[in-house]
Structure 1
Amino acid sequence: MIDLKKFRENYEWYIKKTEEKGIKLDFPKFMAMDLQLKQIKFELDNLNQERNEISKEIPNLKKEGKDTENLVNKVKDLKSEIEDKQKKYNEIYNDFYEIYIRIPNPAFDDVHIGKSDEENKVAYYVGEKPKFNFEPLAHYELLEKRDMLDQGRSAKVSGSRFYYIKDGLVRLELALISYTIDKLSKKGFRPIIGPNLVRYNSMLSTGFFPAEKNEIYTVNPDEDDLYLIGTSEVTMIAQHMDEILDVDKLPLRYVSFSPCYRREAGTYGKDSKGMIRVHQFEKVEMVSFTKPEDSIKEHELIYEIEEEIVKELGLHCQKIDICTGDLGFHAAKKYDLEAWFPGLTTYKEITSCSNCTDFQSRRAKIKMKDEKSKDFVHTLNGTAIALARIMACIVENYQTKDMKIEVPEVLKKYIGEEYL
């Protein structure tokens, strides 16, 4: 969440930044409630101070044999008045908080303004488009012909937007996981696997609730208060809730493999075939905790790792500078990498990385401590490998005329074969 003190000092800037993200909030109501809360808090402090002073005075007066009945009654009246004001404060605060937690992380000033993903900008291209002497197939066409992908049986079992993968495609996924974990471990990212089910507060603290609640699967909400993660970013960030991190150990870097679950609400008819837009997939994710002054540099590092991975896999991509309207709720700046899918004849997002500044850590109460003060850390995240999409991309880029799939050079030692 945003720093409320900074909002009060420069509320026009925050309102402007919220509008740039395409989010509409009742800021006049929010600021009016803020003033009400400050006034009630001032009155409560005075009433509590008065009650405490009288309460301390009563025992002394009793020792002196003086009548304290009026003072006792005064304390009772003050207690009742305090309870009434506290109740009023709580009622206003609940409404205030509902708006407060919906104020997004302001985009950096160098993020270009745009309403949607249609206004994102291509920064540059990575690698060369592959050339074929035949008409390349879409990944799902090739994989279904090879009986390596089965969406018919998965629809029978689970409904649409699920899949079974088989044989060489399973080995490709396992190879990609091992390759990515090995690579990131050498770069100082600590491997970690956490829960796939988290509590409401974990989603709230990382900024996925309430903004993206419609995308999250709920598990027995009346009994368990558990939600399926859409990314292991949630568990990697939330593990440090209410903690003070050792500043000398920053940056603290993690890499995590996990299943991910997303409802894909509002995407009816989009990428309904294949492995691009599905409800369940696996991902290897990076997360960093840094000192505030280091987060911009860390963001570039995470992006460079993503680009290095796609280069080593031999994929043609375009780097995308994300505009304000497509930035998301908790990111201040974001890059995507979109890979070329020759069978689909289009670019599709395969990675993204975000600088979330102190937005998540303020919600999750994650600080660092040095000699001078305590400050909120900055958090960053980046997709190392979104497995369903990267496998689909490899299949389309490495297919042969006889419908084999060449194994990318960096994965051959994990698979032990030239072709799938």
Structure 2
Amino acid sequence: MIDLRALREDPERLRASQRARGEDEAVVDRLLELDERRRAALTRFEQLRSEQKSIGKSVSKAKGDEREQLLARARDLAQQVKESESEAGRLQEELTATLRTVPNIIEEGTPPGGEQDFVVLEHVGEPRTFDFEPRDHLELGEMLGAIDTERGAKVSGARFYYLTGIGAQLQLALLNLAMEQAIDSGFTAMYPPVLVKPEAMEGTGFLGAHSAEVYQLPQDELYLVGTSEVPLAAYHMNEIIDRLPRRYVGWSSCFRREAGSYGKDTRGIIRVHQFDKVEMFSYCDPADAHEEHLRLLAWEKEMLAKVELPYRVIDVAAGDLGSSAARKYDCEAWVPTQNAYRELTSTSNCTDFQARRLAVRFRDEGGRSQPVATLNGTLATTRWIVAILENHQQADGSVRVPKALQRYLGREVIEPVR
């Protein structure tokens, strides 16, 4: 949720952000109007309450006609106080509801525009030139006995799969490497719940424009998370944190309905309903959030280097940001058979947007409680298997194991089983 005080001081900043995102600017004037009316209603309520208390003291001292007049005024004030309190409450609810529809204000320098308007910041590594026709990850996965989508569909439906044999081992190796790196960098390891209450999902901003992608269990009033960002962000909900930064790394299964993606990436395990992910999450002083964001990106790049993949870093355009993000960087690995870069990691600076919703605070140097900043970043997911298999394949269908993963798998090459 955006800061109302900051909005009053500089409404043009939100207007500019809305324009860059392709969102409605009119909401700025609506917020300012509601805020002004709410504050006026509160002032009236407080004035009436003050008069009511004053008359209450006078009634005990008055006699005769004066007393009757004061009592009549007291009854009238009581009704007005009740009405003004109700009006202030109604306006507060309307203001809060409107605020919850407004995305975070983007960070200065974020590219304007939509999904295709990202800016490429750097390329790392060169896409491989093959002297044979490369196989896609699903064909390789089936040859290696690593991926079984047919039985996944038989048991659970489209966009489900089994990782089998070396495929399961490869995922464990990849995610363990990511956890090890994060722990060595000072993160606290977490295995969070993947079912959360509505206030956790709402507080992190996932029940807005993208609510159709979330699995819900209405009978239990719980949601399945699409990222461990949600339980990690809610971990300190309604708390004051005594030390910053706080960095956590969560390993969890993640679930996404992939609403609106029908026909996209139906082959293999690029876009699926269930996958595992290692996610970094940081709570920090908002003044340090920009630099913390760059640190998360650097840890992602370190992990990509370990699995020896060519990739590019993009600065995601404002209209393609989630509602909570003020800025987002993606690392996209080269996928040879698609002749394209595809997202493997994403890191977002959510400034104090989520913390305001979740009431996560810290004490500043003056001892006052203030919202923290929250940031998140992917360190490894099931999707990485796609890029690893395709980039490290050999002519006979075998796959070279990146050196950093060899100690987990106990081999240098994964050989076909058929």
TM over 0.5: yes
The one-letter amino acid of 1:51's match is: Q
Per-residue deviation, 1:364: 1.3
| Aligned-partner Cα distance in 2 for 1:216–1:46 | 46
Question: Could you report, residue by residue, the CA deviation over 1:22-72 in whole angstroms, capped at 9, with x for unpaired residues?
Answer: 2226424333322221221111111111222223444x428x999845444
User: What amino acid maps onto 1:176 in structure 2?
Assistant: L
**What amino acid is the match of 2:327?**
K
How far off is 1:238 after superposition? 0.7
Residue 153 of structure 1 deviates from its aligned partner by 2.0
Q: Does 1:43 align with 2:44?
A: yes
> How far apart are the structure 2 equivalents of 1:96 and 1:169?
50
**How much has 1:104 moved relative to structure 2?**
1.4
Q: How does 1:126-145 map to 2 (within 5 A)?
A: 126-145=124-143
Counterpart position of 2:186: 188
Deviation at residue 166 of structure 1 after TM alignment: 0.3
Once the two structures are overlaid, the 10-residue window that deviates more, 144-153 or 66-75, is: 66-75
Change (3 A) 1:74 1:175: same
**Residue equivalent to 1:414:** 408
1:196 offset after TM fit, Å? 0.5
**Cα gap change, 1:25/1:153 in structure 2, threshold over 3 Å: closer, same or farther?**
farther
2:289 is matched with 295
Aligned pair partner of 2:234 in 228, 234, 238: 238
Are the equivalent residues in 1 in contact too, given 2:214–2:224 (CA < 8 A)?
yes
Q: Which moves more between the two structures, 402-411 or 86-95?
A: 86-95
Equivalent pair of 1:127/1:311 in contact (CA under 8 Å): no
Structural mapping, 1:358-377, within 5 Å: 358-372=352-366, 373-377=368-372
Describe the superposition over 1:236-262 as per-residue Cα deviations: whole angstroms up to 9, x where unpaired.
11111111111xx31110000011111
Corresponding residue for 2:12?
12
1:90-132 Cα offsets, whole Å, 9 max, x none, are 3333333222111111111211222x22111111111222232
User: What SS does structure 1 have at the residue aligned with 2:377?
Assistant: strand
What is the aligned partner in structure 1 of residue 223 from structure 2?
A: 227
Q: For 1:272 and 1:8, locate their aligned partners in 2 and report how far apart those are by CA, in whole Å.
A: 47
CA offsets per residue over residues 143-184 of structure 1, 9 Å max, x none? 134442222222222221111110000000111121111111
Match of 2:156 in 1: 158
Amino acid at match of 2:376: N
**Residue equivalent to 1:391:** 385
Q: How far apart, in 1, do the equivalents of 2:183 and 2:57 lie?
A: 61
CA distance in 2, matches of 1:85, 1:17: 35
CA contact (8 A) 1:285 1:381 kept: yes
Q: Is the counterpart of residue 252 in structure 1 residue 246 in structure 2?
A: yes
Deviates more, 1:142-151 or 1:298-307: 142-151
**Residue 320 in structure 1 maps to residue 314 in structure 2:** yes
Q: Is the 8 A contact 2:187 2:248 kept in 1?
A: yes
| 8 Å contact kept, 2:145–2:166 | no
Correspondence for 1:200: 198
Distance 1:120 1:202 in 2: 30
Matched, 1:77 2:71: no
Matched position secondary structure for 2:337 = coil
Which runs of structure 2 are paired with 1:19-38 in the superposition (5 Å)?
Answer: 19-24=19-24, 26-27=26-27, 28-38=29-39
Distance, in Å, in 2 between the alignment partners of 1:358 and 1:186 is 27
Looking at structure 2, the residues matched to 29 and 374 of structure 1 have their Cα atoms a distance apart, in angstroms, of 28
Q: Which amino acid aligns with 2:80?
A: E
Query: Alpha-carbon deviation of 1:303?
Result: 0.4
Aligned ranges for residues 101-120 of structure 1 at < 5 Å? 101-114=100-113, 116-120=114-118
Deviations 1:344-403 (A, max 9, x none): 2211000011111111111211111144132221111100112x2101111111222221
Give me the whole-angstrom Cα distance separating, in 1, the residues matched to 2:372 and 2:234. Answer: 13
The whole-number CA distance in structure 1 between the counterparts of 2:75 and 2:208 is 41
Deviates more, 1:272-281 or 1:95-104: 95-104
2:144·2:166 contact (CA, 8 Å) conserved in 1? Answer: no
* SS of equivalent to 2:413: coil
Q: In structure 1, what is the equivalent of residue 269 of structure 2? A: 275
Deviation, 1:233, is: 0.7
**Which one-letter code corresponds to 1:296 in the other structure?**
H
- Counterpart-to-counterpart distance in 2, 1:162 and 1:19: 38
Distance in 1 between residues matched to 2:182 and 2:151, nearest whole Å: 35
Structure 1 gaps, min length 5:
none
Match of 1:331 in 2: 325
Identity among equivalent positions (%) equals 38
Separation of aligned partners in 2, 1:43 and 1:8: 21
- Structure 1 residue matching 2:348: 3-state secondary structure: strand
CA distance in 2 between counterparts of 1:293 and 1:90 reads: 33
Residue-pair matches, total: 412
Higher mean Cα deviation, 322-331 or 64-73? 64-73
Asked whether the equivalents of residues 25 and 99 of structure 1 are also in contact (C-alpha less than 8 Å), the reply is no
Q: Which residue of 1 aligns with 2:93?
A: 94
Structure 1 residue 212: deviation in Å? 2.3
Write the distance in 1 (CA, Å) between the matches of 2:178 and 2:320: 27
User: What is the TM-score with the length of structure 2 in the denominator?
Assistant: 0.93
Shift of 1:73: 4.2
In the alignment, the residues of structure 2 paired with residue 46 and residue 176 of structure 1 have an alpha-carbon distance, to the nearest angstrom, of 64
* Equivalent in the alignment of 1:265: 259
Aligned to 1:347: 341
Q: Closer, same or farther in 2 for the Cα pair 1:71/1:390, shift >3 Å?
A: same
Q: Distance in 1 between matches of 2:293 and 2:239?
A: 23
Cα separation, partners in 2 of 1:157 and 1:52, compared to 1, 3 Å: farther
Distance 1:52 1:158 in 2: 66
CA distance in 2, matches of 1:78, 1:155: 68
